[in-house]
Amino acid sequence: MARANRPVTFLPRWAYTLITLAAFLSVIFFTYILIIQNKQASQQSFFFLLIIYALSVALLFFGITEVIAQLKGEMLGFTIKAGGPFAGFLIILLFGIYYNQKINESLVARVQLYGPGGLADVPVKNVANAITLIPANGDEVTGDVDSKGRVSFHVNPRVFEDSVRFQLQLNAFMLSDSARNYKLVQGRELDLPIRWKKARYVFHLTDIHGEPLTKLRMLSSELKLDRVSDDFGTIYCDADTAGVQLYHFSFPDSHYRCTSLPQSPVGQTEQNITLETVK
């Protein structure tokens, strides 16, 4: 009885298995390194991972299982003919090159948000749709802030040729210079300063009979407040309350004293304060 011809295996199957596992683990490890560093794969790292992955798949399907593969075609003016594991390797490699060309139709612009304390001060983390990139020509792109205060935008390469602006989509923060235009540089991270928005505080000062107290001075160190009430007994204050949880207030006029505890949580932005006459 004639025996069916089978492809020749040059290495024992256990050797192919070890090489395949090592290649797969290498792909997983280097991909993990790229992810935890929040970096985009460069051309070099992409092709390095692609070659290892193609090799492992080729060995698995066309070496261990001894599946027959053949590849015939033309690329860059050369005629390609291959069979066996090498054919499988080339099939995956050529597919990866084609996929990479599609990805490169857009580039990644990266921004690092930081607060008044410098680059170590990252007040915004893990927020979706937090900031919008507005190019001079082109569509706006909205990005998410990651755990390190970084934002990645997938943009058209033309964006790097002109200036861009940014707009925060956060209620509590604002750009330190919202009117400024920025120049993106491919492969470099843009440092973008932000700060807390100033909150508007309103205080209504009255006596124990409900009558407004005018021309009365009020102080608060946390709110950086030192103002006098208007003709309606009202004081307005715009304060930066970053890092403040509780604010205190006082009245230098010795003829009056507050009937309640002279402190409030920072979230209480409007309140009625009653003062009584000191006899």
- Please determine, looking at this structure, whether the domain spanning 199-277 carries the CATH number 2.60.40.1120: yes
Angle ∠(219,244,241) on CA atoms, nearest 5 = 70
> Tens digits of per-residue pLDDT, 82-130?
445 555 555 555 665 655 555 555 678 899 998 877 877 888 889 888 9
Distance, CA of 13 to CA of 11 (rounded, Å): 6
CATH number assigned to the domain covering 107-196:
2.60.40.1120
- 107-196 matches 199-277 in fold: yes
Q: Where are the domains of the chain?
A: 13-103, 107-196, 199-277
Residue 91 token pair: 């099939």
Q: How does residue 78 score in pLDDT terms, banded at 50, 70 and 90?
A: very low
Which among 83, 17, 84, 94 has a CA at the least distance from the CA of 56?
Answer: 17
> Tens digits of per-residue pLDDT, 151-207?
999 888 888 878 899 999 887 788 888 778 999 988 889 999 988 778 889 999 999
